[in-house]
Structure 1
Amino acid sequence: MNRILAEVPAPDFPYPKKTLSKPFFRKKFLKIVTHVIFFLVSSAVLILATPFNPISSQGDQTLNEQSKSWNGETIYFVLIDRFKDGSHSDWNYSEMPDINSFHGGNLKGIINSLDYLENLGVTTLWISPVFSNRPSRFYNYSAYHGYWVWDFFQMDPRFGTLSQLKELSEGLHKRGMKLILDFVVNHMDYDAPFVKKFPEWFHPYGTIVDWNDSFQLENFKVFGLPDFASEKPIVQKFFRAVARYWIEQVNPDGFRLDAVKHVPISFWGSFNGFIHESYGSQFFLLGEFLNGDESIVSNVQATGNFDSLFDFPLYYTLVNVIAKGKSAKQIGHRLYNDYQYLNAGNLATFLDNHDVERFVSSCEGDLRKYKLGLSFILTSRGIPTLYYGDEVGLPGSQEPDNRRDMNFKLNPEIRNFVTALLDARKSSLALKKGIQMQLFMDDTTYAFCRFTPNEQAIAIFNFASSTKNLQIPLLAAQNEGQILNEAIEGKNCARIHGKNLFWSAPSMSSGLFLLPKSENIYLDLFNKIQGWKKDPWFLGDVKVTFELRFPEEKNSESVRPKLLEAKLVGSLPAIGKWDPKSAIPLVRQGKGNAYSASLKLPSKGIFEYKYFLKREKDVIWQKGDNFLVELPESGGIHLFNNWEP
């Protein structure tokens, strides 16, 4: 015990006097840390021996189990310094009137805005780090964002006091809302006293150069910031102590965990397991793992014992489709891969954050496109996460322009639109927790439903620049001739005929339709789809024939020796999962110019594929976009493609 106390530093490193509002009370914190370390030592064997029990997939969860999860929440992220100044003191922390200086936003400003957030309709507040940060500029940059940690056991007085943070937590809980604290474990500030006092706790390597090198990502410095040696037991114990302190002082409901890919996954599995063991499974652990491949994201979510990760794969797809005008079928392909996640309903969906361009700016200020993005994440599966200003269309390009001061008066019509969507989400169990199923897609249209055994909501998106008269197939027959009102903006009504919904969709717009509730009307379908969401082969398979044709002159006998192999690879595991080593070879049909392969793929599968040639000295990939296919539920399909290498 004494040895560990000697190794774990007392959390009272000196903060420059000119920035302190109060002296730091050393004895109080030493007592707390002693208690924390005693707990860690006495329970270490139990914690390390406890196996990881992954959370169930969304398809496996009953609605009662889902009611305990976070997928009914809506998160609102505030960068404290840029939201609101609620102080009436004469203190002015702004060092320079520029985007990289402190602007004066603080906890008091957030506390004064709780009614605003509650009326907006969000249910959870996530705030940027409150740890004390670098007291002075680093060249032309200030630590206004909170990620250049100076001392993990002190509040930064520029943001507020510990008592104000407690007041914020209590104020949220009185409103039935939740609080998420931003938690940093990868690094500290460039000149933090901690780094000089315990240099052996940090990696000795330089700054990351190759961002595709996994060793550099986990062991080198991110933009020169001292990188914790997270694999060391003493570092892991230290961060458990830090976590315990803030949880027991502030009573938050979860942590947003920064820079996941820069910390070994073994650290996350152990740390997150400790948090859940100590504070229960409902303490929410949301990781920031920036990667667009759902197979990698899902593996990190499971292995790291995260409740949720940010849905970067869906984010990139929404940017491509809505902002850049790519085919809406990309959305269908992205969501089809939800089966890879433990629980896609617990992913944190978003349009932007403090690290990427504001979505409204990605849309070049087109509010019609922007509203399409908002309506998608606020009706789709997942936990919608709004970045401060999203509700008013606050613009901003790349960092730091995406961190402008909040403007509460901007675009009130967008705020009303967001509030209406959040009201609908709160009132509909289908929108909060229902299973999501695709109903229809083409290059400029996407429609899905979300349903429980008793209710259904249908969301339709027209990305075209003209009105479209749509016929959307339904999961089950409804009352013939039924008229459905559009739930958000009162657009054109929709009409039910047979098993179809007919709607004249205005250009660049969305529609939300809430069908009448009826006891167990979708129960059989609900049970069936649960199996399919877990296993893509649940509905069976269909035979798919791929046929690739070359121009005749490219396949003459004089050219033939140069063409060694033609292969197919795609997004499904059965066609290689984009690994050329697992690609499917195509067989030449006689002496002609056609090559083909036939295989069975999952019914109703949605996938992308592409061809490549393996010649004597190189590999040639087919140019252009990937081919995207939606398979039928039964029968077969023959896919023809031409290629002139």
Structure 2
Amino acid sequence: MRKLITLVLFTICGVASGQIERVEPPNWWVGMQQTELEVLVYGDNISDLVPEFSGNITIKKVVKTENPNYLFVTVDTYGISPGIQTLSLKKGRRTIDSFDYEFKARRENSEQRKGFDSSDVIYLIMPDRFANGNASNDSTPETIEKANRDHQGGRHGGDIQGIIDHLDYIHELGATTLWSTPLTLDNEKVYSYHGYASSDLYLIDPRYGSNEDFAKLSSELHKRNMKHIMDFVPNHWGISHWLIQDLPSKDWIHYWEGGENGFKRSNYIQTTQFDPNASKIDAKGCMDGWFDYTMPDMNESNPMVINYLVQNAIWWIESGDLDGIRVDTYPYNDKQGITEWVTRVMEEYPNFNIMGETFMHDTAHIAYWQKDSKVGAIQGFNSNLPTVMDFPLHDILLQVFHEDEQNWSDGFYRVYDHLTKDFLYPNINNLLIKMGNHDVNRINQEFEGDLDKYKLALTLLLTLRGIPQIYYGDEIGMLGDKSKGDGDIRRDFPGGWPGDEHNAFTNDGRTVAQNKYYDFTKKLLNWRKGQPAVHFGKTLHFSPVKNIYVYFRYLPNDPDETVMVVLNNSDKDQKINLERFSEGMQGFNKGWEIISGAEYELHQTLEISAKSGLIFELR
């Protein structure tokens, strides 16, 4: 096992010709739906050697690339038993080197694992900024950038153990699913904490912990009946990735002639992926351009690249016992290549869930990327991607609560109008909805610390269709201004480091203001856990009048499961006539209001305070 870890960590210097330096995937499992496994074998000048597996494992194909340091060995795993087999490299009858390769037994019903869905609330964290549970790994000998908490864009020391230490906090808050930004090795010289420039797709960054720690995080989440989403980055890897430093062949990345080291920055025009009027040069400039100088763009039109990514995703799902994957910068990937990737992963795990980051601002553009989209079908395209992100709703949330007066096209009419486009989505439950994330201004910065606006926004978010996601620290009113640098929107969670002045993980450690945010968030999140009408129900909404928005979430076959939401976005106390909403109230005349815990008589009129919301379970 020690040899395996060494091989995966770093390329060994000074090895003899023909010696195995690295094998990927480092192990595999028996009983997989996809029985062919392509094993990457890397070592100095090994292409003239002949691979051989013990245990009567059939080698179906051996591919040599233009780089003699690689062999890609495809084996048939059908019917083999768990155990360790020997992979040998031979020259004639002589064995030059060998490697113990383990085929493991899968977890029971692994292929039927249930992914996250609209019954969940996702809690998104930046692990380097959440909590430091193991100060001994803040800096490591084998990684370049060392910890410096005084540097906004530097490593601060948060890690997997810090997350595990505070899972009870997340659970008690009411979130059901954890999504962490990437944890695999990012060994760039600076600004490596974000993790989106991976140096090794099979290794957890030692400053976060180990692969075993990652699996333990899943285990601890599952003990609490929570789920684990991994952030996966297929579009670009880090310039320091061992494979980028010694490419199997030039066509593994999009190499631009004339650019330094093949670099040309993406034009970031994602619409070229489907724009019928787009020029070829613009489309190529988006899809093939590098995301940044330190992030070479992977060539996913190369079948070997896609196969590598498919196997890597499956390897993490099995070894990390995952419940979902979030895919970074989804529309920048090669469209056909990423479709093959998501299709093959979902074939292996039909009840799994994968969401793509569709950072676009038009509903039709985002709907294009969802599985079975009629928008995509116009061009004969089906992404097979289950979940997309409703970024237009996020855009609206940044505006609507500043608009005290409703005119024809603003105030709550923006939300109402946005939901009228839901017909574009084949599955509106599989929309990720959010108020913020690690790339944009914090929502409480946008609201200038106005608690009432936060309460309105959260009430809306947690009662709409889709899968709500909240960003760590929003629940305590944390601020962050992107214009001051990404580090400002990725601040350290107070109390995550020994010696912090306040510990916002505890009731006594939070300030009075922080507790007001926390208590409201906790009440709503824990209430939402038991609301099937909110999870999977239909929506009936009424056009806003005087900036009051009323809508119902209901199960058509179970009228007793009906939730009524009343939101007053104006700066005035108001009274509404309930007769207008009789279609949604269905004869109910009482409602238990979940925020106050009071029972209301719902007859002719209802009073609602300025900048506030009411959520009723109808009775």
Whether TM-score is above 0.5 comes out as yes
Q: 1:12 aligns with which of 8, 11, 15?
A: 8
Q: Give the corresponding residue for 2:413.
A: 329
Aligned to 1:276: 346
Deviations 1:466-525 (A, max 9, x none): 111122413255558x4434211357x64322xx6x321111111101112xxxxxxxxx
**How far apart in 2 are the matches of 1:185 and 1:268?**
8
Structure 1 residues 265 and 489 mapped into 2: Cα distance closer, same or farther (>3 Å)? farther
Structure 1 residues 186 and 69: CA distance shift in structure 2, 3 A: closer
CA distance in 1, matches of 2:422, 2:297: 34
Change (3 A) 1:263 1:113: same
1:463 to 541, 544, 569: 569
Matched-pair contact (CA < 8 Å) for 2:433–2:461 = yes
1:294 Cα deviation (Å)?
Answer: 1.2
Residues 1:414 and 2:517 aligned together: yes
Q: 1:392 to 1:312 in 2, by over 3 A?
A: same
- Separation of aligned partners in 2, 1:323 and 1:293: 21
**The residue matched to 1:400 in structure 2 has which SS?**
helix
Match of 1:147 in 2: 196
Please give the secondary structure, in 1, of the residue aligned with 2:571. Answer: coil
User: Is residue 289 from structure 1 mapped to residue 338 from structure 2 by the alignment?
Assistant: no
2 CA distance for matches of 1:375 and 1:496? Answer: 20
**In structure 1, which of residues 200, 211, 216 is the aligned counterpart of residue 269 of structure 2?**
211
CA distance in 1, matches of 2:116, 2:396: 26
Asked if the contact 1:180/1:256 (under 8 Å) is kept, the reply is yes
Q: Does 1:366 align with 2:417?
A: no
User: What residue number does 1:377 align with?
Assistant: 461
1:475 lines up with 2:583 in the alignment: yes
Stretch of structure 1 that moved more, 78-87 or 216-225: 216-225
TM-superposed CA distance for 1:190, in Å, is 2.8
Matched, 1:106 2:176: no
Partner of 2:215: 166
1:287 alignment partner AA:
G
SS of 2:368's partner is helix
Aligned residue identity for 1:469? K
Return the match for 1:436 from 539, 560, 566.
539
Give 3-state SS (helix, strand or coil) of 1:456's partner.
strand
- Percent of aligned pairs with the same residue? 28
Pair 351,189 (structure 1): closer, same or farther in 2 beyond 3 Å: same
1:626-641 superposed matches below 5 A: none
Long gaps (5+) in structure 1: 1-9, 18-23, 45-66, 517-645
- The AA in structure 1 aligned to 2:216 is E
Distance 1:261-1:323 versus aligned 2 partners, 3 A rule: farther
Which residue of 1 is the match for residue 239 of structure 2?
190
Shift of 1:117: 1.2
Establish whether residue 305 from structure 1 lines up as the match of residue 384 from structure 2.
yes
TM-score by structure 1 length?
Answer: 0.68
The code of the aligned residue for 1:104 comes to G
State the alpha-carbon separation in 1 of the partners of residues 216 and 137 from structure 2: 22
Q: How far is the alpha carbon of 1:335 from its aligned partner?
A: 0.5
Partner in structure 2 of residue 133 of structure 1 = 186
Distance 1:476 1:188 in 2: 50
Structure 1 CA distance, aligned partners of 2:22 and 2:469? 38
Task: State the 1:88 CA deviation.
Answer: 5.0
Q: Give 1:16 deviation, angstroms.
A: 10
Equivalent in the alignment of 1:201: 252
Q: Aligned pair in 2 of structure 1 residues 304, 11: CA closer, same or farther (>3 Å)?
A: farther
Could you say if the C-alpha distance between residues 323 and 86 of structure 1 is closer, same or farther in structure 2, counting changes exceeding 3 Å? farther
CA apart distance, 1:155? 1.2
Supply the distance in 1 between the matched residues of 2:352 and 2:384 (Cα, whole angstroms).
12
Cα separation, 2, equivalents of 1:346 and 1:107: 28
Q: 1:153 to 1:68 in 2, by over 3 A?
A: closer
Q: 1:11 to 1:330 in 2, by over 3 A?
A: farther
> CA separation in 2, counterparts of 1:90 and 1:243?
26
1:11 touches 1:152 (CA, 8 Å); kept in 2? no
Q: Note closer, same or farther for the CA distance 1:478–1:262 as it changes in structure 2 (3 Å cut).
A: closer
Tell me what 1:488 maps to.
595
Q: CA deviation at 1:12?
A: 3.2
AA of the residue aligned to 1:414: Y
**31 and 463 in structure 1: CA distance in 2 versus 1, 3 angstrom threshold:** closer
Q: Does 1:401 align with 2:488?
A: yes
Residues 209-233 of structure 1 show CA distances to partners (whole Å, capped at 9, x for unaligned) of 4636432221101122210011111
Q: 1:441, 1:447 within 8 Å by CA — same for their partners in 2?
A: yes
Is 1:123 matched up with 2:123? no
In structure 2, the residue matched to 1:77 is: 124
Per-residue CA distance 1:353-386 (angstroms, 9 max, x = gap): 0011111111122111111111111111111101
Supply the AA of the counterpart residue of 1:39: E
Q: Are the counterparts in 1 of residues 116 and 323 from structure 2 also a CA contact under 8 Å?
A: no
1:632 maps to which residue? none
Matched, 1:387 2:475: no
Paired residue secondary structure (1:448): strand
> Retained in 2: the 8 A contact 1:379–1:421?
no
CA–CA distance in structure 2, aligned partners of residues 144 and 324 of structure 1: 37
Tell me how far apart the structure 1 counterparts of residues 591 and 149 of structure 2 sit (CA, whole Å). Answer: 55
Q: Is the 8 A contact 1:131 1:152 kept in 2?
A: yes
Provide the C-alpha distance between the structure 1 equivalents of 2:163 and 2:392, rounded to a whole number of angstroms.
31
CA contact (8 A) 1:132 1:155 kept: yes
Contact residue 354 and residue 402 of structure 1 kept, 8 A: yes
Residues in 2 aligned to 1:90 and 1:176: alpha-carbon distance in whole angstroms? 29
CA shift, 1:332, in A, is 0.7
Indicate conservation of the 8 Å contact 2:551/2:564, yes or no.
yes
Q: CA deviation at 1:267?
A: 2.0
SS in 1 for 2:421: helix
Aligned counterparts of 2:584 and 2:479: Cα–Cα separation in 1: 42
Partner of 2:377: none
Aligned 8 A contact 1:361 1:395 in 2: yes
> What is the number of residues matched between the two proteins?
470
CA offset at residue 428 of structure 1? 2.0
Could you state the TM-score of these two structures normalised by the residue count of structure 2? 0.71
Please give the alpha-carbon distance, in whole angstroms, between the structure 2 residues aligned to 1:182 and 1:484: 41
Question: In structure 1, what residue type is equivalent to 2:198?
Answer: V
User: CA RMSD for the aligned pairs?
Assistant: 2.9
Aligned equivalents of 1:395, 1:268: Cα separation in 2: 35
Q: 1:323 to 1:202 in 2, by over 3 A?
A: farther
- Measured in 1, the distance between the counterparts of 2:397 and 2:138 equals 42
Contact 1:265 1:300 in 2 (8 A): no
Q: Distance in 2 between matches of 1:222 and 1:276?
A: 26
- 514 and 83 in structure 1: CA distance in 2 versus 1, 3 angstrom threshold: same
Partner secondary structure for residue 111 of structure 1: helix
Report the Cα offset of residue 34 of structure 1. Answer: 12
| Contiguous gaps of at least 5 residues in structure 2 | 1-5, 14-19, 39-59, 62-73, 75-113, 140-145, 257-263, 271-281, 372-381, 405-409, 495-503, 505-509
Distance 1:11 1:354, change over 3 A: farther
Who is 2:528 aligned against? Answer: 425
Which of residues 549, 552, 557 is equivalent to 1:449? 552
Q: In the TM superposition, what are the counterparts of 1:558-637 in structure 2 within 5 Å?
A: none
User: Partner letter of residue 159 of structure 1?
Assistant: Y
CA distance in 1, matches of 2:37, 2:582: 54
Aligned partner of residue 314 in structure 2, secondary structure: helix
